[in-house]
Chains A and B, each alone.
Chain A
Amino acid sequence: MVELRSTGKPRAAVRTWTSFMTDFSIIGKPIAMVDAAEKTTGAGKYTDDLSLPGMLIGKILHSPHPHARIKRIDTSRAQKLNDVIAVVVGADAPNPYGILPVGHDEHALAIDKVRYIGDNLACVVAVSEATAEAALELVEVEYEILPAYFDPEESMKAESNLIHDNKPHNLEKDYHHTFGDPDKGFAQSDYVTESRYLANEVTHAAMEPHSTLASFDIDSQTGQAGRLTVWSSTQVPYYLQHKLSLVLDMPMSQIRVIKPLVGGGFGGKSEVIPLEIIAAVAARKAKAPVKITYTREEVFWAHRGRPRTIIDLKTGVKNDGRITAVKARVVQDGGAYCSYGVVTILYSGALLGALYDIPNIHYDGYRVLTNKPACGAMRGHGTVNVRFAFESQLDEIAGRLQIDPAEIRRRNLLKPPCITVNGLRVQSYGLPECIDKIVERSGWKSRKGKMPKSRGLGIACSHYVSGAANSIIRSDMPHSTVNIKIDRDGGVVVYTGASEIGQGSDTMTAQVAAETLGCALSRIKIVAADTDLTPIDIGSYSSRVTFMAGNATMRAAQEVKKQIASAAAKKMNCAPEDLVFRDDSVFKQSTDHVGAGLRPAQEEQNSASVSGRVEGQILRGSLQQKRKDEGPKDSMSFEEAVVATIDFHGALTGTGSYAPPLEARGGKHKGGGVGPSPAYSYSAQVAEVSVDEDTGEVTVHKVWAAHDCGRALNPVSVEGQIIGSVWMGMGQALTEEMVWKDGLLMNPGLLEYRSPSSVESPEIEPIIVESIDPEGPFGAKECSEGSLAATIPAIANAIYDAVGIRLRESPFTPERVLAALRAKKNAKTLDMTEGVDPTAPVRLREHGGALWFKGKGPERHELDPARRTEGG
């Protein structure tokens, strides 16, 4: 860690600023999201709610084999079925693509090989879903089955039958990083411990299944199919536009991507999902609009979730608990395609830093290909599983050294502003306060160690980036740009490419614009995420929107504000700098502006100044008259000021953009581009759990979660994001797990995957900590991901506190808890699978594949009534 200036209490300095700046009128107040009514009334449109005249339905044929060469694919019988309009196969769109420039290994539909059960083979377009489904049965595919790889450590030994020919040993990517001098660090330590941790695979399971609608216009000049419009359930409309252009061989300017409401993403929609491309290819071939919506089972196959991760972690500490060195070897079971894999494996190593002060780090990361659906980015991208290992191990060390687990964390704090040993710049750092807060609220000091039998408390911390400082495509292009237009009606239209996916992006934009302009929130109209209308924004991922799009919005608003100020200043006979914008009016700083005095009058005026359009001219009778009557004055309504500005300047528009500062973009080492962020969020949590020692069931009673979000622009949303993250972390900790049998997902349904319901969800107390980041918009940082990672180890540590077992494999299911309890007592492990199908996975289910799945998948167990007979 390199300290950037003499540490001299930056936190105290920050405080003063806080008290000075708290005088906001829009931000910092809990408000309903701007689109809340659309959602609670059902009026809002998600992609699958849209339809176009003449729209056809597409259905995709998926591979029943985990690894096979396609010898022949014959669609002629399907083609002949009544009301089938087109059948699309790989040859219809042979260009490869992938979300990362280094990972263009996917095709819309398989060309020569299928690489996982569920891989995409063909798409039937028909007038109805039923017809399309019937036609899928008629597509004939002949395969040459290849040996498949399901375990990453086995897969890495492969010499032949590689998943991708250009990836020897099925190794997508490996990184080996050394920062500081780890050997020396371990030599200096008083105590070293080493363990293997395993985090099983989880997926986003957003409530809205992916859906895409694609349609071509006819060009007036050529009379031929021209521009393509795609409505899609995506977090990254601009990346989608780019990939569509690659695969369809069309210029980006001819492609418009519109993002309607999105029913949750969590990373699952942060890259281009096959159906998005397939729908466009199908629309081109069918010469009609095509909509494809995944079934829930298809959503599980599309996946892109958090990989199963094996972590070998070694930590060295001094007797006082100070960490001297960390060594981590991480193997990720990445599935059949690269997806975000290279970034995921880098995050796993990079974000060992920036939470605590670790002087020496060695990291070996392996991203391995296997014949399973591709893993990608999921909430807390790359950091979560390693954090589980790290925080568990730290707890173990604290126990060993008899240091309070909260205290050992305090002893390893960074001293910001600083640059960590692996090149991450840390400025605002609310972690100490987060720890203080949860220790206090949970009654840690008085209750820890004095809990009733089988009940315990555990603590853990985590952090996350507020947007990646380097975009996927390394360039100096701004990451977000926002335009603002204000017209004579006084309405403020904000054009932003940022993608609302339920996290509150549009609301944040509206709040930041209104606060900066000092106008009423009701004036703001958001036009978002439409590649034709809005300037580019790289998308809703890596928790970047508040920080980056928020800054861009603020800058755009400042630009228009400057124009308004100069016009208003002329009217008021003062310098623009003397003007204050607030409560929907503009007034001289010197005037005793009492909100209460001015506000009701303003409101009256607003409602009175209804514009009438007479002979093409907008007249504001009373308002304009009033302006003439009075000479220079001390205040103007926002609308008056706008009209004055337009009189002086003509159109009132502004633009603002954001690119992360150079200092925040990280080290120069290979892979050093992933991990750096302009600001990090921090979280500390205490979980209270009890363990039923007879059944192995773990109950989480309560989680106290303190999160440093810089500044809470909308506290109700911030709390919602913290709760949602903790809740999702709890799911991964206790129940959620993708169970595989030879590459077949055994639990592709929401109940079988065990997304927790309200009765299984604990009380979560969110605690907002505001460290006021010097570069965030109004000091804000991210709040949607950073909390997730701490929950899993907090629960693991609480289980240890409750019953004395260290669980090193997540989720902590009753089977695993019982096995550990029995091992502790030196009792024989119970064989829970005794007497059942020996080929079934460790965890059981009653049928292979969801009930809807009628046999395009793999063979079922012979006792399964849903099993289809050969050739049937």
Chain B
Amino acid sequence: MKKQLIELRVNGRPRELAVEPSKLLLETLRQDLQLTGSKRGCDDSSCGACTVLIDGVPMLSCTLLAASCEGQEITTVEGVSEHGALAAIQKAYGDWGGAQCGFCTPGFMMTVKHLLATTANPSEAEIREALSSNLCRCTGYSQMYQAIKAAIEAEQKGMDSLSQQVAK
């Protein structure tokens, strides 16, 4: 199949590349852009390890054509850390045991990022429901809930200290 020139915006940066129209976003990220953080864990869109954000919405990159994502903002796990440091959720996943083998973790990072962006104070049921799009075989998910709660707390504290500073 003949390659086409497309332009993707990945983690805030424009990337021009030539891909077959049939190429999946996951493969384009991993093979053409060397962004190997997103993983392939299944054949049939069932595991969520490949989750990326498309305009802020979690999507399975193994189920999207790269060419169809032109003009949209793609965020991968490589775009989650902030200013060279771990984002609160990444730190919390490490501290609370949310990642064991880590293979599912990039997908969870994206799912959780979206959850936190859309739900201010998610209940445990809401967290569970959000996470059910991703599979993990190591953790039994429990420590992820703790991590998410800790990240929310850390962020709120961060916000508080920020607003305190502003008040001063």
* Chain A residues within 8 Å of B, Cβ to Cβ: 30, 32-33, 35-46, 48-49, 51, 204-209, 261-266, 293, 295-297, 501-504, 716-717, 719-720, 723-724, 726-728, 749-751, 755, 757-759, 761, 763-764, 850-852
In the bound complex, CA of A26 to CA of B35 (Å)? 35
Beyond A36-B93, A42-B38, A205-B137, whether A852 also contacts B43 by CB under 8 A is yes
In the bound complex, CA of A416 to CA of B40 (Å)? 48
B101 partner, pick from A502, A751, A852, beta carbons under 8 A: A502
Of B49, B80, B102, B127, most buried by chain A (CB within 10 Å of CB) is B102
In the bound complex, CA of A761 to CA of B144 (Å)? 12
CB distance from B29 to the nearest CB of A (A): 10
A40 touches B142 (CB 8 A): no
Please indicate the chain B residues that have their CB under 8 angstroms from the CB of A33 in the complex: 94, 97, 99-100
Please indicate the chain A residues that have their CB under 8 angstroms from the CB of B104 in the complex: 207, 263
CB distance from A757 to the nearest CB of B (A): 4
Instruction: Convert B30-73 into 0s and 1s, putting 1 for each residue whose CB lies closer than 8 angstroms to a CB of A.
Output: 11000111111111101101000000000000000000000000
In the bound complex, CA of A501 to CA of B100 (Å)? 8
In the bound complex, CA of A205 to CA of B78 (Å)? 26
B102 touches A35 (CB 8 A): yes
A758 touches B103 (CB 8 A): no
B135 partner, pick from A41, A43, A757, beta carbons under 8 A: A757
A49 partner, pick from B36, B41, B43, beta carbons under 8 A: B36
Please indicate the chain A residues that have their CB under 8 angstroms from the CB of B143 in the complex: 716, 719-720, 723
* Total residues of chain B contacting the partner, CB 8 A: 54
Please indicate the chain B residues that have their CB under 8 angstroms from the CB of A850 in the complex: 43-44
A720 touches B139 (CB 8 A): yes
CB distance from A835 to the nearest CB of B (A): 27
A764 touches B76 (CB 8 A): no
Beyond A208-B101, A208-B103, A263-B102, whether A37 also contacts B137 by CB under 8 A is no
A723 touches B140 (CB 8 A): yes
For residue B74, CB closer than 8 A to chain A, the reply is no
In the bound complex, CA of A42 to CA of B36 (Å)? 7
A42 touches B76 (CB 8 A): yes
Specify the main secondary structure of chain B where it touches its partner.
loop
Beyond A40-B86, A761-B140, whether A750 also contacts B30 by CB under 8 A is no
A723 touches B37 (CB 8 A): no
Beyond A39-B105, A296-B43, whether A724 also contacts B132 by CB under 8 A is no
A764 touches B142 (CB 8 A): yes
Beyond A724-B139, A759-B132, whether A49 also contacts B103 by CB under 8 A is no
Instruction: Convert B144-164 into 0s and 1s, putting 1 for each residue whose CB lies closer than 8 angstroms to a CB of A.
Output: 100000000000000000000
A207 touches B94 (CB 8 A): no
* Chain B residues within 8 Å of A, Cβ to Cβ: 30-31, 35-44, 46-47, 49, 76-78, 80-81, 86, 89-91, 93-97, 99-106, 109, 127-129, 131-132, 134-144
Of B78, B80, B141, most buried by chain A (CB within 10 Å of CB) is B141
In the bound complex, CA of A724 to CA of B101 (Å)? 12
Please indicate the chain A residues that have their CB under 8 angstroms from the CB of B90 in the complex: 37, 40-41
In the bound complex, CA of A723 to CA of B38 (Å)? 26
A716 partner, pick from B30, B86, B97, B105, beta carbons under 8 A: B97
B77 touches A41 (CB 8 A): yes
Supply 29 A–B pairs (Cβ within 8 Å), ascending by A: A36-B99, A39-B99, A39-B105, A40-B109, A42-B35, A42-B36, A42-B37, A44-B102, A48-B36, A51-B31, A206-B101, A207-B103, A261-B101, A266-B137, A295-B43, A502-B103, A502-B138, A720-B100, A723-B139, A723-B140, A724-B100, A724-B138, A728-B137, A757-B135, A758-B127, A758-B128, A758-B129, A758-B132, A850-B44
Known contacts A36-B93, A265-B101; can you find 5 more A-B pairs with CB under 8 A? A36-B94, A206-B101, A728-B140, A758-B144, A851-B44
Please indicate the chain A residues that have their CB under 8 angstroms from the CB of B77 in the complex: 40-42
Please indicate the chain A residues that have their CB under 8 angstroms from the CB of B100 in the complex: 33, 264, 502-504, 720, 724
B102 touches A716 (CB 8 A): no
For the complex of A and B, 6 pairs with smallest distance between CB atoms = A42-B37, A502-B101, A39-B102, A263-B103, A727-B140, A36-B94
Please indicate the chain B residues that have their CB under 8 angstroms from the CB of A204 in the complex: 137
Please indicate the chain B residues that have their CB under 8 angstroms from the CB of A501 in the complex: 101
Beyond A717-B97, A757-B132, whether A502 also contacts B140 by CB under 8 A is no
